[in-house]
Amino acid sequence: MWSLIGYCRNSKLRQRFKKLRHPPKILLATLTNYAIRPTTCEVVDFATSQVYYWNMASPPRLFENGSFYHVYNRGNRKQQIFLGYKDYERFLNKTLEYKKKFNVNIVAFCLMSNHFHFLIQQLSPNTISKFFSDLCNSYSRYFNTKYETVGGLYQGRFKAKRIDKDEYLIHVSRYIHLNPVGLFGPSENLVSNLLAYRWSSLQYYLSSGRNEIIDANVILNYFSKINPVEDYKKFVISNIEVPAYPDIEHLVFEE
């Protein structure tokens, strides 16, 4: 079944779509100048600039512009998807690349050895789907080539939950930033280990250094104007062994 999902008047559109030798016949019989992007099952009609979606098995997920989402995925069969620091760096470099390409606002993230979390805002139609599609596909190709593996790297499509209340936003960011706690176990250095974790956006919240990937002000603006960084730090590490605020249990994922 076809459904109209929007319009695209990008002059470079042809470079992003591939013509299929045997495309689906539904609807296409009425089009004379079109192209298909197989990875997302999108079809563009160049005559009208209308973009259609077709996929019977996996219907499109609709994300609202301006809304925030908690996005998560993990390795297939819970396998590791980051085996060394260069893998983490590769993933973050691609994150920045595709953030610039697609109109999304990343508020927080955490990369763990076998899964990742993002707190992300959609700013233009369909950009969250495109962002994660390109990011995950690109990294999967890199991983399979580097480690000479085949098959799917992830456990299906990424999962996303819409954050429907402002008060939940700061608690989801805290939950994401507390993900590494389980790596350290009971320790007197638990807080310092958490704050030093390299593959989380928490370090950028707590430092004066700027970072191109995240927009920490979305969260920090909820805290005092005098010292929002210190207030957020206290908020995150308070009761550190209880990572999830009870009211956001519907917004977190089993890992």
Indicate whether this model's pTM tops 0.85.
no
pLDDT for residue 224? 85
pLDDT for residue 44? 62
Provide the residue-wise pLDDT of the chain in tens; the chain has 255 residues. Answer: 334 434 444 444 444 443 333 344 444 444 555 565 554 556 666 666 665 554 444 555 678 899 999 999 999 989 999 999 999 999 999 999 999 999 999 999 999 999 999 999 999 888 999 999 999 999 999 999 999 988 889 988 899 999 988 889 999 999 999 999 888 766 668 888 898 899 999 999 988 656 889 999 999 999 988 899 999 999 998 878 776 777 778 787 766
Q: How many CB atoms lie within 10 A of CB 147?
A: 10
Q: How many CB atoms lie within 10 A of CB 216?
A: 22
- Of 250, 40, 64, residue with least CA distance to 161: 250
Classify burial at 50, counting beta carbons within 10 Å of its beta carbon; exposed 0-12, middle 13-18, buried 19 or more: middle
Question: What is the distance between the alpha carbons of residues 176 and 150, in angstroms, rounded to a whole number?
Answer: 30
Q: Indicate the CATH number for domain 68-251.
A: 3.30.70.1290
3-class DSSP state of 210: coil
Question: What one-letter code names the amino acid at 203?
Answer: Q
Domains of the chain, residue spans? 2-54, 68-251
- Which positions ≥6 away from 164 have C-beta within 8 Å? none
pLDDT for residue 168? 92
48, 57 in Cβ contact below 8 A?
A: no
Question: What is the distance between the alpha carbons of residues 204 and 213, in angstroms, rounded to a whole number?
Answer: 10
106, 215 in Cβ contact below 8 A?
A: yes
